[in-house]
């Protein structure tokens, strides 16, 4: 496990250096599907650095990474990589973006790291060993009163065919007078639930690389993560609900369109 951890931390740190080098500078920005779904040359540069680092030590492992796609090998290990989560923020010079890498072993998350070099925050978790922020243990908030909870969400680039329209869910919570934030990086949203800044996060239509690391970090920090029915979550799931556990039942009602 130590060598996996070392490679993971080296990959997020080196990719973070690349982000920091370009941040607020000049770089090429391209559009993926839809005009605001961006990819920059920095995403690609950071991604190749990460892949080089992993491949140099573990050439037989499967790699699934946002910009290059899947490099499947017959391996029990799967690295899920988002070279920049929050690319729109990055492209606009907003320092809420990060490198996010999760590692699955036999489909179980065993390691996760999320690094925001602009804020110098490195979140890390190892299965069964807790979660840390810059090496210090973190835990979810203890807020049990949903009415005073501070929440965060995100919206997809393409509007999904979900049972409850994301704007309706958002509206319902805002009309209840709850503070809801939209940061623009699902990996950071999850980590900020893990360290107690937020009490809950929900989003529809995320990809495995957005959530893999953050999922383990929330779990190891004592949080609860399920789909919108309350069923156990997996990283390939399209519905993500992560909370401190204490407000989970109420959040489930909200995302299901029931009265709070």
Residues that bind ligand IPD (CB under 6 A): 82, 85-88, 154-156, 184-186, 203, 206, 210
Given Ca ion, ligand IPD, none, residue 184, with its beta carbon under 5 to 8 Å by kind, binds ligand IPD
Tokens of 197: 């800044």
Tokens of 62: 């499967």
Q: Least distance in Å: CB of 135 to Ca ion?
A: 25
Q: Which is nearer to Ca ion, 158 or 168 (CB)?
A: 158
Q: Least distance in Å: CB of 205 to ligand IPD?
A: 6
Question: In Å, how far from its chain's centre is CA 33?
Answer: 21
Q: How many CB atoms lie within 10 A of CB 107?
A: 10
Question: In Å, how far from its chain's centre is CA 202?
Answer: 11
Given Ca ion, ligand IPD, none, residue 185, with its beta carbon under 5 to 8 Å by kind, binds ligand IPD
DSSP strand pairing (200-204 vs 180-181): unpaired
Q: What share of the chain is helix, strand, coil (3-state, %, to 5)?
A: 35, 25, 40
Given ligand IPD, Ca ion, none, residue 86, with its beta carbon under 5 to 8 Å by kind, binds ligand IPD
Q: Which is nearer to ligand IPD, 5 or 197 (CB)?
A: 197
Q: Which is nearer to ligand IPD, 210 or 220 (CB)?
A: 210
| DSSP output for 130-198 | -EEETTEE--------GGG--EEE---SS----SS-HHHHHHHHHHTT--EE--S-HHHHHHHHHTTS-
Q: Least distance in Å: CB of 216 to ligand IPD?
A: 16
Q: Least distance in Å: CB of 76 to ligand IPD?
A: 26
Q: List residues near Ca ion by CB under 5 A.
A: 66, 82, 84-85, 210
Q: Which is nearer to Ca ion, 85 or 239 (CB)?
A: 85
Assign 3-class secondary structure to 189-225. HHHHHHCCCCCEEEEECCCHHHHHHHHHHHHHCCCEE
Q: Which is nearer to ligand IPD, 103 or 190 (CB)?
A: 190
Q: Least distance in Å: CB of 94 to ligand IPD?
A: 11
Given Ca ion, ligand IPD, none, residue 132, with its beta carbon under 5 to 8 Å by kind, binds none
């Amino acid at each position: 496990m130590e060598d996996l951890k070392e490679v993971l931390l080296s990959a997020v740190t080196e990719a973070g250096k690349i982000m920091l080098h370009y941040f607020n500078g000049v770089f090429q920005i391209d559009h993926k599907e839809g005009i605001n779904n961006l990819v920059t040359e920095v995403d690609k540069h950071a991604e190749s650095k990460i892949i080089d680092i992993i491949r140099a030590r573990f050439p037989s492992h499967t790699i699934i990474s946002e910009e290059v796609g899947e490099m499947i090998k017959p391996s029990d290990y799967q690295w899920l990589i988002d070279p920049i989560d929050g690319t729109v923020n990055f492209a606009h010079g907003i320092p809420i973006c990060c490198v996010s890498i999760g590692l699955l072993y036999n489909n179980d998350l065993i390691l996760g790291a999320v690094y925001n070099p602009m804020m110098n925050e490195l979140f890390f978790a190892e299965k069964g060993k807790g979660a840390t922020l810059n090496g210090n243990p973190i835990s979810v908030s203890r807020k049990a009163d949903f009415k005073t909870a501070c929440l965060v969400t995100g919206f997809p680039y393409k509007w999904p065919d979900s049972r409850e329209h994301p704007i309706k869910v958002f509206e319902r919570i805002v009309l209840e007078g709850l503070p809801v934030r939209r940061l623009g990086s699902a990996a950071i949203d999850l980590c900020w639930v893990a360290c107690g800044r937020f009490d809950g996060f929900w989003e529809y239509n995320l990809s495995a690389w957005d959530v893999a690391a953050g999922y383990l970090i929330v779990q190891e920090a004592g949080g609860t993560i399920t789909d919108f029915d309350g069923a156990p979550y997996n990283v390939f799931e399209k519905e993500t609900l992560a909370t401190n556990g204490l407000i989970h039942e109420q959040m489930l009602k909200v995302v299901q369109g029931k009265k709070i």
